[in-house]
Amino acid sequence: MASETHPETVIPTPALVVLVGASGAGKTTWAEANFKAGQVLSTDTFRAYCGAGPDDRTAGTEAFTLLDHLITIRLGKGLTTVVDTLGLDADRRASYRDAAAEAGLPCVAVGFDTDAELCRDRNRNSATPIPKTVLDRQLRQWRATRGELDQEGFDLVIVDPGPSRQIPRFMVPTTDASSPPSAPVTIQPDRRLTFDLAIGSYEFGHADIGSTLVEIARASERVGFRALWVMDHFRQVPQIGRAWEPMLEAYTTLAYLAGHTERLRLGTLVTGVEHRNVGLLAKIVATLDVLSGGRAECGLGAGWFSAEQAAYGYPVNSNRMRLDTLEDALQALPVLWGPGGKSFEGKVFSIPEAMAYPRPVQDPVPILVGGGGERRTLRLAARYGHACNVMGHDPAVVAHKIAVVRQHCIDLGRDPDDLVVTTLNPLVHATSGRDLDALIESLRPPTQAAEAFAAANQAATTEEHVARFRQLSALGVDRVCVSLVGNTGPERVESFAPVIDAFR
């Protein structure tokens, strides 16, 4: 990989970062300025632990043993780790790359090509200078190493770094020719990316749930979100919170918001097909569409939360049964929303008189199929859906799911471009790196490291989110559904406006 000089250094997180350069090159100063103290492992520090002080060269063996042990521990926990040593030994660099690879993390080399005279001047003015002959040897080693770094197998090589920004590694611009770059790309007018807002938590305070929801919905309309989606669960899901946290009934909530908004489209992401009798579900969605003036969308999936099903006395059926029910529903809903009172006979259920008046304003109500199962769910989306929703932080995963559903469309004789591709993105957003770091600290659980929280929740600045969404658009995503982590009011929604504006 070719090295570059960066005005701002983008470091993937989590990662192992190996500093390389002679004494006085500025490695420690850069590391202290750009990383937290706990992220930086320095042999000087460990020599002080194992010997008479940071300059006790007799404690070098013990210091490196301790360094290697802590690297293994931190990488095993998925924590960004900076190795602050000379980094001039090729065998040690290879061992660092091996440790990162074993942990499944990228290994980044950061070289410091500092002027030799500046290094010598800093050494002369140091409180504990090293011998001139030792520094001269280090400078010769650096010149030899400088030409080798690019060929050694590091995932990224950066020389003469600027101020550092740590961003989740799946958001780092890729150089893989198989994936579109996340640098700005031309967005075709017929593939303009649009944005929806998803709400998965109602931690607003019991008395303020209704008023806060209205403020969020109205802010969503103002900044340009196309639609608002809510989860259709009876209690909070473990990926977001505790079971007893507030969880509003989905369609009551959507009907309430319909009366307080004008343009925002409204739907569930997604309704578990076994949560309601399908005939009743058709009636509910039709009623929402009529009362909202044609703004309803029907998100539908097979369901997955068996603990919730059991807790409410619903049968916990097999995956095959739930997928058969989903296919029946996808066929039955258009019949129920259509004219007359035809009968419907499916694999799992039948409806003797499929009638739902008043009929929806829209003909048909758009159906979004949620789920990423490649053999069955995505094929159902290709056959019956107006849209499909795929998950995945990694653009490569999203690209693969899109390829699968497009192939299903082709196999079924459907134009793949007729199917709207959406992706759900839980994320943390701030306008600047400083604000983002502060927001991460305010939101992360005390037991989760900042870099792990950032990676799990796609924490990034406006510019970084725009770059990622351009990449998703280039992969074939038509619509991004955004779930703002820690969203407790309209302020977080309004702050996202610059991202939406970049795609108008």
Q: Do 9-171 and 191-429+478-496 fold alike per CATH?
A: no
CA pair distance 263, 268, nearest whole angstrom: 17
Q: Which residues fall within 8 angstroms of residue 306, CB to CB, at 6 or more apart?
A: 316
Q: Which secondary-structure segment (H or E) carries 126?
A: none
What pLDDT does 418 receive? 96
Residue 149 gets which letter from DSSP? G
> Amino acid letter at 287?
T
pLDDT at res. 303 = 94
Tens digit of each residue's pLDDT (9 = 90 or more) over 237-249: 998 889 999 999 9
Residues whose CB falls within 8 Å of the CB of residue 329, separated by 6 or more in sequence, listed in order: 273, 278, 281, 300
Instruction: Tell me the β-bridge partners of 20.
Output: 111
Burial letters 354-379, b for 16+ CB under 10 A, else e: bbbeebbebeebbbbbbbbbeebbbb
Distances in whole angstroms, Cα of residue 93 to Cα of each of 25, 107, 375, 465: 18, 10, 44, 33
168 in Cβ contact with 454 (< 8 Å): yes
Q: What residues in the chain have per-residue pLDDT under 70?
A: 1-7, 170, 172-191
Give the pair of three-digit tokens for residue 187. 């967005």
**How is residue 381 written in tokens?**
């989306």
What distance in Å separates the CA atoms of residue 205 and residue 225, rounded to the nearest whole number?
A: 25
Separation between Cα atoms, residue 163 and residue 431, nearest integer Å? 17
Give tens-digit pLDDT for 254-268.
999 999 999 999 999
3-state secondary structure of 22: coil
Whole-number pLDDT of residue 2: 44
Nearest one of 349, 353, 416 to 385, comparing CA atoms:
416
Quote the pLDDT of residue 48: 85
pLDDT at 172: 61
The DSSP secondary structure of 76-114, one letter per residue, reads: HTT--EEEES----HHHHHHHHHHHHHHT--EEEEE---
pLDDT at 181: 35
pLDDT of residue 184: 34
pLDDT (0 to 100) of residue 177: 32
Domain boundaries, the chain: 9-171, 191-429+478-496
CATH of 191-429+478-496, one of 3.20.20.30, 3.20.20.70, 1.10.240.10, 1.10.10.10: 3.20.20.30
Provide the whole-model pTM: 0.81
State the number of CA atoms in the 13 A half-sphere of 422 facing the CB: 28
User: pLDDT value at position 6?
Assistant: 46
Secondary structure of 280-309 in HEC code, one letter for each residue: HHHHHHHHHHHHCCCCEEEEEECCCCHHHH
Given the candidates 3.30.70.890, 3.40.50.300, 3.40.1440.10, 3.40.50.720, the CATH classification of the domain at 9-171 is: 3.40.50.300
Residue whose structure tokens are 């694999």: 347
Over residues 373-415, the pLDDT tens digits come to 999 999 999 999 999 999 877 888 999 999 999 999 999 999 9
